[in-house]
Amino acid sequence: MYNLNMRSSTQQIKDELKDNAAIELCARQCGTIGDATKLKICYLLRHYPELSVTTIAELVGTSISNISHSLNKLRAAQLVKCRKEAQTVYYSLEKDAFANVLSVIGG
């Protein structure tokens, strides 16, 4: 447990939290995966490293439109990446996608 009696220690900790890009990114990422559909997508991509939008939609049990919307949000949060092969778009997790989340919370 930290001893926060000293004003300088308190200010140092406040400074660590202030304008911390890693914390801001973590908050966006955690907010993004707070939705069940997006969390299911992350789960699938963790266990099956590359899947098409159609396959993800079928496995999750929702529309391609809904999955595409969710994947766009996951891309914006830097959690997934995509590649296109002809007419098919494949998604995978970004390398160390959740490393930032774990490092921020102390994992």
Q: Fold for domain 7-105?
A: Arc Repressor Mutant, subunit A (1.10.10)
The reported pLDDT for the residue numbered 5 is 53
Is residue 107 predicted with pLDDT exceeding 90? no
Range ranked top by mean pLDDT from 25-29, 45-49, 68-72: 68-72
Alpha carbons 67 and 64: distance in angstroms, whole number: 5
Percent of the chain with pLDDT over 70: 80
Nearest Cα to Cα of residue 74 among 47, 37, 102: 37
The reported pLDDT for the residue numbered 97 is 77
More confident: 64 or 9 = 64
Give the model's confidence band at 1: pLDDT under 50 very low, under 70 low, under 90 confident, else very high. Answer: very low
Global model pTM greater than 0.75 = no
